[in-house]
Structure 1
Amino acid sequence: MNGIQRWGSWLLMKQFRLREFSALLGVEDAAGLSDLLKRGQEHEAYADVIGLHALRWMLIEPHDASGVRSIDPAEPKALLLSFVCDGSVDATLDAVLNHRTGRAREILSHCRAFDQKDPAGYLRAHALTGKYMFRDLGPLAFPPRVRTLFSAPSGSSTFRGRVRAIAQVLFLQEPDLEPDVTISEIREAFEVRDRFFEFWDSNAGADAHQLRRSFVRAFQSDGFPLALTPFERRLPNEESWVRRTIDTGTKLQDRTARRAGDGKVRRAIHSKGHGLIRARFRVFGDKEAQGLFAVEGTYDAVLRPSNGAEAVKKDGAGDARGLALRVVLPPGTMLGGNREPEFFHPPRGAEGGCQDFLLMSASEFFTPDVASLAKWFRVRELEGRARNVALAAMLLVPGGVSQSLLMYRALWNRPLHPLAGAFHSATCYQYGPHHLAKYSVEPLDRERFRRIARQQGADALKQALRDSLRDGPILLNFFVHVLRADAPLPQGLAIPDIVEDACFPWERLGAKKLHVASIEISRQDPGDPPRLLEAEQLQFNPWNALHDHRPLGSLNRARWGIYPASQSNRSHLEVSREAMADAAE
C-alpha cells in the first residue's frame, strides 16, 4: 500500500468521522459494519466505498511490535487483510459480500505465497506500523504511520501552509522517501478525497449495482494501480512508467497543437481521421463464443479509420494505420447465460453501453510493455540530431533491434484505401473467464480494393473511402483469435509472459481463429462535415469494454490512465484557445 493510499484512506475517514459514516452506512459500530458485509448485496455500493479507502484501516485493531494475532479466515477482518495483501478488488469484495469461507482461505493462501509465506511481516511492513491505527470507527486524529502530536490538516483550506511540515514528519518516519515526493503524495491524497466527494455527489440516486462498479473503476485509475487478473504480472515501477508516458504524451500533444496552425486540437496519436462510418455489427452467436459474441444479434456501430502519427501528414506517407470500432449495446441487451452486461465504464441513464475495439495495421505492437513505450515516447519528444542519436542508442538496448524492426514495418504501410488491409488489436484481452484473445478485422473482398486507382493529394485515403461507399456497400469480417489459459506454451513460457509482451507473435501459440461477426457498411458519405466533426468529438478507449473482454497487460493497464489524460488535455487546450480568441476580440 503506497503513501497515496494511506493518506487517501486517512483523509477520507478524517472527513467523515464516525457520525457521517454511520449515517452513510446505517451502522453504529464495527460489529454493525461486519453484519452489513455479511448481508451484502443491497449495500454493495457502500461496501465498495469503504472497501477501497477506509476498510483497510477501520476494522484493523492496533498491534504492537510483537506481531499480528492469528486470524480466523471466516471473519470479514481476514478478508479485509487479504485485500490489503492481494489488492484484488473484485475477488476480495465478492468474498466479503458473500462471506464464502472457502474463497477467504484461498485468498489468504495466495497472500502467504505472494509474501514468501510471511503475511505477518507483510502486514507489519505495509499496514500496521505504529499505534495510531483506526479502531472501531472512533474519532480520528492521527494519520497512519505518523507518531507525533502533529496532526494533518482537515481540509484543503489549511493544506497549502502546512504541507511542508507534514512532509518533514513523514520524511523522518520514512527516510527512504524524498521530501518532494512525499509532498506530491500528500497533494494526491487530497485529490483522492476531493474526487470521492465529486463522484458521490454526481451519482446521487444512481442504481447501486452500476454505482458499485463505477466507483471501483474510477478510484482504481490515476494513483491506484488496477488490480491484476491471474493472467497478468505487474512491471517493476509500472506506475512511474505510466506517469512518464502521460507526461511525454501531453507534451507531444501540446507541440502538435502549436504547429498545426489550423486552430484544431487533435488526439495525441491517430490524429488524422478519414471520416466517420456508420455500420451494423452482426454477431453470429456460437457455443464457443464469449461475452458480446455468445448471443446472436445485430448492433449499431461506428468506425473511425485513421493514420497513426500524432502530426497531420499527407496520406501517401508511410504510416501505421488505425481503425477504431465502437459497438453500441442498447438498454436491455442480454449476454450468454441470460446475463446483463457489466461495463468497466458503466453507461449513464438509459443510454446503454458500448464496446470499443482499437485496432491497428500491425499484428504485434512495436513495444512489449509500458516501460519500453515510455522510452520510445521520450525519443519522439526529441528533435533533429538529438532524436537520431537517441534512435541509434535504442538499437543497443536489449530488444531494441526487434522493436525498431516492428516499428518500421508498421510505418512502411501505404494502402490504397483505409479499409483495404487487415487490422489487429495487437494487445491481449480477456475472453470470458478462462480464455485470452486478440481481435482482427479483414475486408471480405480484397480484390475490390486492389482495383481502386491510387488517389492523389494530401487526403487521398479520405477521398478513396468516399468514392467506394458512394459506389456500393462494404463488408468486413470480425475475428477473435482465442488462446485457452491452459493451452500448451513454448518451453519456459507462462501465460503472464505472453500477456505482458505485446510483441510476442501469436502464430507460435496456435491460437484458434474464429469468425464471430461481420461489419456491414451501407452506402453513405463518411466525409460529410457534420460527421467529421462527430468523429473528432468521439472518445474511444479500450476500457469502454465489457468485463468479459477486459484489456490485459501493462500497455492496456497504462491506457486506463493515458486515454483520459489525453482527452482531458485536448479539452484543456480547446478551452485555452477559446479563451485566447475571446480575449483577442
Structure 2
Amino acid sequence: MLLAMVRPAQTGDARRSSATPARYRELVNALEPPPDRPMPLHELERAVPGEATMIRQMARIAAEAVVTNYCEMKVSDCSTPAMRDQHAKTHGCVSAEFIVRHDLPPEFTTDLFRPGARYTATLRFSNGRGTAGSDRKIDARGLSIKLHEVGTDTILRMLAPDKASAGEHDFALSSFPIFFCKNVIDYTLLMNAVSAPHATWREKLGRGLRWLEFVIRCPRQFYLFLRIAVEGLLTVRNPLTATYHSMSPFLFGEHKVVRYLVGPRDGQDEGARWRTFVPWTKPENFLRDALVRDLDPHQPGADVVLDFSIRVRHAATPDDVEDASRWWTRPQDEVVRLGSIAIPRQSLLAQNQLYDCEHMVFNPWNCLPEHRPLGSVNRMRLAVYLASRQVRRKLNMVA
C-alpha cells in the first residue's frame, strides 16, 4: 500500500481493457441499503457519533474495491472472477467435522455448543489482501468456518433472509489476536487513505496527506496494521499449524464477552517461528502447497485436529467491547476449549470444489443471537460484507 502511493498509474493494456471501474460503477450505485444495525445495542455497547454514515461509506468503499480489483486482474487474465474486497486469495476449502466437548461445563453450554454436538463444517483458508498475489508478500492469514445443519435461524437470516442459507453458522478469524483499528472511526480514516485515487500527482499528494493524517492521529493503529501483515508472513508457513483469532469481541450466552481462538491441538508449530523461516525461498503458493501436501488422501496419516476455544474477558466493560484493538491480558481472563475440528485427508483441487470455494459466502453476523458480534467494528462488518457479496456475485453472475 505504501508503494502504491508513488507507483505510476496504469497505462497501456490496463487503459484499453473493457473492464474498467467506470463500466461497473452502476453496480456500486445500485447497492441495496444495508439492513439496520441490530437494535437495541447490547448493554455494553456504545454507539459512535456518526456511525451510520461511516458504515454506509465503508460499505461503498468495499464494493468499489471489488470492482477495482476485478478490473485490474482482468488485464492479465480475462477469465478471473471477481473476488472479495478482503481475504481474496483462497489457499483451499476443506470439509471437516466440528465436535463439541462431551464434558463441556454447564456455564459454557449454549444452543450451539451442546455437549457432544457434531456439525459438518467447511473451512476456508486465505490471505488477507484484496488481491490474489504471492504468499511471499507481507500479509495476514485468515480462516473462515461455516457450520452446517445448525437448525436455528441466525441474526443475518432474520435481518436479510435472502442473504443467508438456513442452518448455517459462520466464524471469521485472522492470524493476529486483536484488530488493528479501535473502532469504526479509526477504520474509516484508514480506508479513506487506502482507497484514495492516485492516478495523477495531485491525487497522489492527496492520498499521501490522508495517510499522514491516519499515522498522526492513530500511530498505534498504524503500527498494528504493519505488525499484523509482517507477522502473518514471518510466522505462518502452513495454514494447518497457524493459530487464528476472531480479533473482535462476541457475546457468549447472556452475559459473557469472548473472542474465539482456533489452533492446532499440539500447539503452535515451532518450525514456523520467524527465526527459522525465510519466506522468499518458498514458492509463490507455498501455503496452498502445504495444505494440499498435509491433506493428501494418498498418504497415510491421521486427521488434522484443531482446537476451538474462547477467551473469556473477566468483568468486561464497554471499552473491552468497543475497542477491538485492546489486548485482553487480565490474569482472570480464561481460555476455555469448547471442542475440536477434525479435518480428514481429502483432495482440494477438483474444479467443482474450487468453484464452490470461490463463491462461498461468510459473514460474522450469520450467527445465533446468543453469539452476536459486539462493538462498532462488528456493526460495520454487517454492511461491508453484504456490499462486497452483492457486487461480487453480480460480476460473477452467480444467482
- The TM-score by the shorter chain falls in which range? 0.7 to 0.9
The CA RMSD over aligned residues, in Å, is 2.7
Residue of structure 2 in register with 1:264 after alignment: 81
Partner Cα separation in structure 1 for residue 95 and residue 37 of structure 2: 36
Code of the residue aligned with 1:344 in structure 2: it is: I
Alignment of 1:433-444 (within 5 A): 433-444=254-265
Q: Tell me the equivalent position of 2:186.
A: 372
Q: How far did 1:386 drift?
A: 4.7
Amino acid at match of 2:193: V
Looking at structure 2, the residues matched to 324 and 256 of structure 1 have their Cα atoms a distance apart, in angstroms, of: 21
Alignment CA distance shift 1:509-1:545 (3 Å): farther
1:308 offset after TM fit, Å?
A: 0.2
The structure with the greater share of residues assigned to helix is 1
| 3-state SS of paired residue (2:176) | coil
- State the partner residue of 1:82: none
8 Å CA contact 2:150, 2:169 repeated in 1: no
Deviations 1:100-137 (A, max 9, x none): xxxxxxxxxxxxxxxxxxxxxxxxxxxxxxxxxxxxxx
Whole-Å separation in 2 of the counterparts to 1:318 and 1:246: 25
Is the counterpart of residue 362 in structure 1 residue 199 in structure 2? no
Aligned length: 340
**Cα separation, partners in 2 of 1:497 and 1:449, compared to 1, 3 Å:** closer
Matched, 1:408 2:226: yes
What is the Cα deviation at residue 224 of structure 1? 6.0
Once residues 403 and 430 of structure 1 are traced to their aligned partners in structure 2, the CA distance between those partners, rounded to angstroms, is 24
Structure with larger Rg: 1
Q: Distance in 2 between matches of 1:358 and 1:289?
A: 20
* AA in 2 matched with 1:534: D
- Contact 1:290-1:431 at 8 Å conserved across structures: no
SS class of match (1:405): helix
Q: Identify the match of residue 571 of structure 1 among 368, 372, 393.
A: 393
- 1:55-79 alpha-carbon deviations (Å, 9 max, x no partner): xxxxxxxxxxxxxxxxxxxxxxxxx
Residue 55 of structure 1 corresponds to none
Name the TM-score, length of structure 2 as normaliser. Answer: 0.78
Report SS of the residue matched to 2:186.
helix
Offset at residue 460 of structure 1 (A): 1.5
Alignment of 1:388-467 (within 5 A): 388-397=208-217, 400-412=218-230, 413-414=232-233, 415-446=236-267, 450=271, 456-467=282-293
Is the partner of 1:507 in helix, strand or coil? coil
Structure 2: 5+ residue runs without aligned partners? Answer: 1-29, 199-203
CA–CA distance in structure 2, aligned partners of residues 286 and 527 of structure 1: 40
Q: Runs of 5+ in structure 1 lacking a partner?
A: 1-187, 193-220, 332-340, 490-494, 579-585
Distance 1:314 1:385, change over 3 A: farther
1:241 equivalent in alignment to 2:63: no
SS of structure 2 residue aligned to 1:293:
coil
- TM-superposed CA distance for 1:421, in Å, is 1.7
Query: 1:266 and 1:435, CA in 2 relative to 1: closer, same or farther beyond 3 A?
Result: same
Instruction: Show the counterpart of 2:95.
Output: 278
Amino acid at match of 1:281: F
In terms of fraction of residues, the more strand-rich structure is 2
CA contact (8 A) 1:280 1:519 kept: yes
Contact 2:93 2:348 in 1 (8 A): yes
Shift of the alpha carbon at 1:252?
1.5
* 1:84 counterpart residue number: none
Equivalence for 1:537? 359
- Partners of 2:387 and 2:331 lie apart in 1 by 35
State the 1:346 CA deviation.
4.1
